[in-house]
Amino acid sequence: MRNYDYFSYEIVAECPHTGARAGRFLTPHGVIETPSFMPVGTQATVKAMAPFELEILGARIILCNAYHLYLRPGIDVIEKAGGLHEFMRWNRAILTDSGGFQVFSLASLNKVNDEGVEFQSHLDGSRHFLTPALVMSIEESLGADIAMCFDECTPYPITEDEAKEATFRTIKWAKSCKQAHSRKDQALFGIVQGSVFPNLRKYCSDALVDMDFSGYGIGGLAVGEPRELMYAILELMDQVLPENKPRYLMGVGHPLDMTEGIARGMDMFDCVLPTRNARNGSVLTSKGNLNVRRLELREDFSPLDPKCNCYVCKNFSRAYIRHLHKAGEILASRLCTWHNLHFMLDLARKSRNAIIEGNFPQVLDVCKKVFGDETN
């Protein structure tokens, strides 16, 4: 069976004022309506959430990480369980990140060449050598609906020469991934690198488009560069990437950055910030971020966000959630995580509906007013 028998992407509406688009991405584990936010389940679990709770929230796809799962519990364990979906009891779509970002950010003593990356595990110090072919074997064994190519993610700031070397290597690895990937029921996305240099971004995107991937990730952004530079690169990507393929802005999940990304033609987003911040007592609201540990909330019996209709806001008060955090109760992290994921998933849904109804700029303007003065 051919790859495109399992996957299809169609645009159902476009914003006449921005580059925003609403789409439908068919996968073996259901349709993903875009724009879409993907909760991050790095270790085959979204922290503090059970799979059925993610279903209640309306999540259609989550992200897991091949690097982490390769190191622990090991691909052999997951294969014996029947694949990643069966292992974690999640029957909706999964995207696996190849681990390129983690290899360069978590692993110590890594050595990079055109063949791959030798690195020392951040868990036990064991040494490993990841090649594009091995990464494809890992991701195929995991059985995710979408696999990402192995790429070299660069930091910011970086010189143009350094970015050029990483871009050329990313293209070389993408070609190797394409050749090694054989699972027809798994889409393979190429990843555009090139830091903040438009010429490198265009060169990389052109090379990847020629390879004809099922979709395209935009990596190496939201790593410390000014927002204006990120938005400029996204505008370029909107111009040069195929309209008939999904576009995934990797690692971006601040509400403003997501809506600005949607306005520039991006379809899929992920980020650990909503769940990480929730565990630290920071929640997203219609008036901006709220720190639930604040003393003035001690006797505040209103919901986290009076405009929110999530389970948490309909049932619990700020005072109660503050008490849970101060007492170190696990439920505090669970409730705040539930709320933050609802906020991001709902923002993606509202953006999609607004695109279809023709008033997406209003959603963008609200996000600018509420979150425009905040940083990542």
Give me the count of residues in the chain: 376
Q: How far apart are CA 251 and CA 70, in angstroms?
A: 20
Tell me whether residue 267 is one of the annotated catalytic residues.
no
Q: Please report where in the chains the tokens 């963008």 appear, as a residue.
A: 364
Which residue is catalytic, options 124, 270, 300, 365?
270
Which pair of structure tokens corresponds to residue 219?
């990596």
Enumerate residues 6+ apart whose C-beta is below 8 A from 123: 71, 72
Which pair of structure tokens corresponds to residue 340?
């933050």
* HSE-up (13 A, CA, CB side) for residue 330: 3
**Is-contact 10 222, C-beta < 8 A?**
no
Q: Please report where in the chains the tokens 């020469």 appear, as a residue.
A: 161
Q: Indicate left, alpha or beta for 63 from its phi (over 0: left) and psi (-120 to 50: alpha).
A: beta
Give the number of other Cβ atoms within 10 Å of residue 112's Cβ: 15
Enumerate residues 6+ apart whose C-beta is below 8 A from 86: none
Q: Is 28 exposed, middle or buried (0-12, 13-18, 19+ CB in 10 A)?
A: middle
Q: How far apart are CA 100 and CA 70, in angstroms?
A: 13
Q: How far apart are CA 66 and CA 143, in angstroms?
A: 11
Tell me whether residue 151 is one of the annotated catalytic residues.
no
Which pair of structure tokens corresponds to residue 302?
């209103």
Residue type, 295: L
- Tell me the Cα Rg of the chain: 20
Q: How far apart are CA 372 and CA 367, in angstroms?
A: 7
Which residue is catalytic, options 76, 97, 305, 373?
97
Catalytic residues: 97, 270
